[in-house]
A and B are shown apart, each in its own frame.
Chain A
Amino acid sequence: MADEHVGLTESEQVSRFLDYFRVDERFPHILCPGCGIGTAMNTVIRAFIETGVSQDELCVVSGIGCSSRISGYVDCDTFHTLHGRALPAATGVKLARPNLKVVVFGGDGDMLAIGGNHFIHAARRNIDVTVFVLNNFTYAMTGGQYSPTTPTHERAATAPYGNVERDFDICFMARATGAMFVARSTTFHVAHLKKMAKLALSKRGFSVVEIISQCPTFYGRHQGLGDAVKMLEWIRDRSVDASKVTDPWQVQDKFVIGVLHDREEVPPYSKLYEQVRARAQGKA
């Protein structure tokens, strides 16, 4: 994919950016004031433009939840599927039309609780999709219940006395289950996020970017973290660059951001299945 963005004037860049949204049909959006999802969506769209992903070769797939609403706003083929089921649906799209660039958005609950098993197997099969997991530590759409990434002891609408469960490291699981590329960024570090998104989009095979995002309405409020600005400051203060730690998998109570795993590419499922067809047809 060529870098189409180079050589455009600023106004051309703005219009290219706006063209990526369903401005007339779908705005204003439903996200709360101060939500990080808009920032994440804008930044990933800039990454689409800068990596030369055209809208007519892109399919955005999502499940259910606040982050999954992104599929309604991006002007390309979009597939707002069932809660947790974005990855199996994306698998079907990718295998049926391997030439489409398939990008998945989902939240921590969507991807790791109800969709956790699908996540594991999509990674293991090395389906050629890029997954953006927006981690806001809560089920925001339903009003702030604890999710697989809510830290232990924290309060939530369904954990009024504190969360008993241990939380989940999305990136660690993505690496363990076979992802080709794993990175973490945040809605505070937008330039960094764009860079991570571009790297993930350029990697062939299953790639994952976890985006730490603020939910002032349903997470920040329960934790006493304050408004969106205070939450962004909280994200900034808790973040540490992967290059500054000896072992990014051992760091406690910090968001280690950067590329966490970037392995040598192996052919994705759709490529390997071409070999299956060749064998079945006696050509190999």
Chain B
Amino acid sequence: MQLLSGNEACAVGAVRAGVRFFAGYPITPSTEIAEYLARELPRIGGTFIQMEDEIASICCMNGATAAGVKAMTATSGPGFSLMQEGLGYSIMSELPCIIVNVMRGGPATGTPTRTSQSDVMQARHGTHGDHPIVALCPWDVRECFDLTVEAVNLSERLRIPVIVLMDEVVGHMREAVELPAELKLWQSAKAKVPREGYYHYDDSNNYDACIASFGEGYRVHLTGLTHRKDGFPTDDPEIIKWNMDRLRKKIDDNQDWLWDLTYEDLGSETVIVCYGSAARSAMDAKRQFEQKTGRRVGILRLRMVWPFPTERMISLMKSARRVIVPEMNQGQLNRTIERSVSRHVPVISVQRYDGEMLTPEEIIEAL
């Protein structure tokens, strides 16, 4: 057992999963991740660099990733805004890296030392252009570890950037945790074909990929421009569509194993759909409500908020009479949930956006 904060557990998970490069810029409430990695990475032969801003941080991380080193950055709202440009590049050139956003209130400088879940939609749509995104939402310290490891695995397997969306409460909370002695890590295969027959974006290389990095003799070309399977830019409509479909298929073709959610008592009349630290209050609300009334309350907790499991949500909510969505924002994921299930069941948004954590009582009121 060890006493760790969520931020520390995230950093420990990153190192255990093979992250060996961190580029970042100090920002509350994520800085402990950088501080931990500044200490640990050089001890194990890795690299830590503090860049001039978050734009440089994500681009530096992309550079290390392109050169074949597992890389990560961590930030919070304002920094996450600056990183949207580089995030688009990671998506377009299919660089498998990790972006941690420990959410605080916004817009602008907002509330640096308070908690929030208000970057959920920015994580989904923050960078321009159509694109897939994967974002994981831990709710406790152990999960900060687990989902960072999961983020590394998913990024490698799908060749995408993966976002770990923590919030200030989860990041700064301390808990005694038992970390697993062994981890299941996805091993990406290295390119084996000779250079002449190698295509960086071959259709067989969309997921579970065999890829070459810089410095391996493959003369790889990476660009943020829409590109052909050899990596060179094109404006041929047919290939543009192929490129865009290729990115989307990473998610569409893997729906069976990709989604990550936990639930209990879904047969109940009322179901709470939640994620992150709001799920902690929801759990307590469920317990208190059930004790007081004897009526069961269902809980569905999303460990992965993006991609959103629309079809599964509809089937899981079949017997529910109403859905409660507690969030520390003005109802961001609520709108997505409404869109998928409101034809079958009413959806009630419980919001808090004053920098404080949602209390179980606020959720009980809605039950």
Taking a contact as CB atoms under 8 Å apart, the answer to whether B52 and A81 are in contact is no
Task: State whether the Cβ of A223 lies closer than 8 Å to any Cβ in chain B.
Answer: no
B97 CB, min distance to chain A CBs, angstroms: 10
- In the complex, whether B132 has a CB less than 8 A from a CB of chain A is no
B49 close to A (CB within 8 Å) = yes
Q: Give residues 36-67 of B contacting A (CB, 8 Å).
A: 39, 42-43, 45, 47, 49, 51-53, 55-57, 59-67
Q: Is A199 an interface residue (CB 8 A)?
A: no
The answer to whether B224 and A55 touch across the interface, beta carbons within 8 angstroms, is: no
Interface hits, A87-122 → B, CB 8 Å: 87-97, 99-100, 117-118, 120-121
The answer to whether A80 touches B56, judged by C-beta atoms less than 8 angstroms apart, is no
Interface string of B198-214 (1 = CB under 8 A from A): 00000000000000001
Choice from A59, A89, A117 contacting B215 with Cβ under 8 Å: A59
| Secondary structure class of chain A's binding surface, majority of residues | helix
With both chains docked as a complex, state the minimum distance between the C-beta of A283 and any C-beta of chain B, in angstroms: 11
> Given the complex, which residues of B lie within 8 Å of A87, measured CB to CB?
56
- Within the complex, the shortest CB–CB distance from A82 to chain B, in Å, comes to 5
Kindly supply a per-residue 1/0 record for chain B positions 336-361, scoring 1 wherever the CB is within 8 Å of any chain A CB and 0 otherwise: 00000000000000000000000000
* A85 and B69 contact, CB distance less than 8 A: no
Cβ of B232 within 8 Å of any chain A Cβ, yes or no, is yes
B interface residues, tally (CB under 8 Å): 43
CA distance A76 to B68 in the complex (A): 16
Q: 1/0 per residue A213-242: CB within 8 Å of B?
A: 000000000000000000000000000000
Nearest CB in chain A: distance from B46 CB, A = 8
Q: Are A93 and B89 in contact, CB atoms less than 8 angstroms apart?
A: no
The answer on a CB contact under 8 Å between B43 and A280 is: yes
Interface-centre pick from A26, A57, A82, A87 (highest chain B CB count, 10 A): A82
Q: A89-B62, A96-B47 are in contact. Are A78 and B39 (CB under 8 A)?
A: no
* A25 and B232 in contact, given A92-B60, A92-B61 (Cβ under 8 angstroms): yes
Instruction: Give the contacting residue for A277; candidates B21, B42, B62; CB below 8 A.
Output: B42
Which of A26, A91, A93: most chain B Cβ within 10 A?
Answer: A93
CA of A45 to CA of B72 in the docked complex: distance in angstroms?
34
- Interface contact B219-A76, CB-CB below 8 Å: yes
Contact at B63–A92, with CB atoms within 8 Å? Answer: yes
Least CB distance, A181 to chain B, in whole angstroms: 22
Instruction: Choose among A25, A64, A100, A120 the residue that contacts B67 (Cβ–Cβ < 8 A).
Output: A100
Give bound CA distance, A77 to B214, whole Å. 6
Q: A78-B220, A118-B52 are in contact. Are A281 and B43 (CB under 8 A)?
A: yes
B225 & A85 in contact (Cβ 8 Å cutoff) = no
Collect the chain A residues with CB atoms within 8 Å of residue B219's CB: 55-56, 75-78
Whether a CB of chain B sits under 8 angstroms from the CB of A72 is yes
Is B175's beta carbon under 8 Å from chain A? no
Give the interface centre of A56, A94, A273, A280 by most chain B CB atoms within 10 Å.
A280
Q: Given A82-B89, A273-B42: A100 and B214 within 8 A (CB)?
A: yes
Question: Which residue, of B59, B71, B86, has the highest number of chain A Cβ atoms within 10 A?
Answer: B59
Is B55 a contact partner of A88 (Cβ separation < 8 A)? yes
Q: Give the residues in chain A near B230, CB-CB below 8 Å.
A: 25
Check if A117 sits within 8 Å of B224, measured CB to CB.
no
A126 is an interface residue with CB less than 8 A from chain B: no
Task: Give Cα A167–Cα B57 distance, bound, in whole angstroms.
Answer: 29
Bound together, the chains give a CA A280 to CA B41 distance in angstroms of 9
Contact B64 A93 (CB under 8 A): yes
Residues in A neighbouring B222, C-beta threshold 8 A:
78-81
Say whether A276 faces chain B, with CB atoms less than 8 Å apart: yes
The docked-state distance in angstroms from the alpha carbon of A97 to that of B64 is 8
**Chain A residues near B60 (CB, 8 Å)?**
88-89, 91-92, 95
18 additional A-B pairs beyond A59-B67, A87-B56, A92-B61, beta carbons within 8 Å, are A26-B232, A55-B219, A72-B223, A72-B233, A76-B219, A77-B220, A79-B214, A81-B59, A85-B59, A89-B62, A93-B67, A97-B68, A100-B67, A117-B56, A118-B52, A269-B49, A273-B47, A277-B42
Please report A residues at the B interface, Cβ cutoff 8 Å: 25-26, 55-57, 59, 61, 64, 71-72, 75-82, 85, 87-97, 99-100, 117-118, 120-121, 269, 273, 276-277, 279-281
